[in-house]
Amino acid sequence: MKFDDLYFIADELNKEKVRWMIGSSVLLYFHGIVNSPNDIDIVIDEKDIIKVKGIFDKIGTEQAKEKKYPYLTEYFYTYIVRDTSIDIMCNFGVAHQYGDYRLKIDEVAIVEYRNINNGILPLSSLEDWYVLYQLMPGRENKVDMIEKYLVRNGVNHYELFERALTQSLPEEVVHKINIVMCDKG
């Protein structure tokens, strides 16, 4: 992944006033949790899906991608922009044994706006991705990395954990969230 590609994409989305946020490994990179992300994962607001599809059709090449269970994401696109793979997700959801979990995108979910290279990068929260990664198969390593970070540095967005707990979640996920929320390092 090339960061210049991220800044280029951010500029294109911001020019069109799209509500979007960065998640996954780029988010972890910005918190010093991983050394280098492989691709860019962008979550967008449903009201902007047509606008975003148009932007990426102009600046990138769409790649064929199948929906895979347990992911319930309503709109999921993969593009190559310059040299970087971009996953675009709208109404991002994950199924689990007790129901479905959906990531909400609103001003509460965007917890930080980073100004890098004169570009504004809206970041989602580690708290939201801590919950999501627990629901995704094969992401135990990322769950452990985020958990260690939150225990060491503290939870910054209790309200997002509380919001997550209003949705259907497996008991073990609820338990882990409660432990991290109560742990003061």
- Of 29-33, 65-69, 156-160, the least confident: 65-69
pTM of the predicted model as reported, rounded to 2 decimal places: 0.95
Of 56, 48, 54, give the one whose Cα is nearest residue 20: 48
- The pLDDT of residue 184 is 58
List pLDDT tens digits, range 132-184.
Answer: 999 999 999 999 999 999 999 999 999 999 999 999 999 999 999 999 999 75
Under the banding of pLDDT at 50, 70 and 90, the label for residue 57 is very high
Of 113, 114, 136, 109, give the one whose Cα is nearest residue 124: 109
User: Could you tell me the CATH number of the domain that includes residue 167?
Assistant: 3.30.460.40
Residue 111 to residues 15, 27, 28, 47, 177: CA-CA distances in angstroms? Answer: 20, 11, 14, 20, 18
Of 53, 49, 19, give the one whose Cα is nearest residue 124: 19
3-state secondary structure of 126: helix
Range of the domain at 149: 3-182
List pLDDT tens digits, range 141-150.
Answer: 999 999 999 9
Q: Is the pLDDT of residue 185 over 80?
A: no
Number of structural domains in the chain:
1
